[in-house]
Chain A
């Protein structure tokens, strides 16, 4: 149980376009989902926290107008990278929380390459 999926697993897009990444909890309802990014050979950094039906909370330094997060249901959160630039190329990982803060389950990640 407690499986989280991400789609797509990898995507290449041209500079200036937008790309949407989906995060789904497959066998549980997630009250809260988190989005992280990981640059090559670096650690994961929390970008934002999303709760179903409410606006996402962004970490300091993360542009909310560039990284649009929508948590439309208890099993789906989406991250849209708008007007992508090469510096947005990264590994984006989501996690879903079932209840307690320590019950988080991570998706497999999405590798975004902007050319």
Chain B
């Protein structure tokens, strides 16, 4: 069965600092992996996805993630945080529909 685990329900960084949100997956088949962002009282916005091919995936708003099969990880990074990045971030893997992680709330301090 497919699953994802997000380490750290809350992450706080200073504006301009590196953002690292962790996601590990479990899948019995080659996974398709996703990162979504959700702002308060809004729906989901796709940041990026990995299907096949290049393991370093670049997304919107300067985010990127690297698929590491040996580590079963798909961590999300951004070199320099902006205040507007403060939101809830979800990692997901395909199954029936998508299986979502529990989410990581990113806070950005000035």
Residues of A whose CB lies within 8 Å of any CB of B are 34, 36, 42-46, 49, 57, 59, 93, 95, 100-102, 104, 106-109, 111
Within 8 Å of chain A (Cβ to Cβ): is B94? yes
Give the CA-CA distance A34 to B94 in the complex, in Å.
12
Please tell me which one of the listed residues A45, A106, A111 contacts residue B44 in the complex, with CB atoms under 8 A apart: A106
Give the CA-CA distance A21 to B102 in the complex, in Å.
25
Asked if A104 and B98 sit within 8 Å, CB to CB, the answer is: yes
Residues of B whose CB lies within 8 Å of any CB of A are 32, 34, 36, 41-44, 46, 49, 51, 90, 94-103
Give the CA-CA distance A36 to B43 in the complex, in Å.
11
Asked if A43 and B43 sit within 8 Å, CB to CB, the answer is: no
Give the CA-CA distance A59 to B99 in the complex, in Å.
12
Asked if A93 and B43 sit within 8 Å, CB to CB, the answer is: yes
Give the CA-CA distance A113 to B19 in the complex, in Å.
35
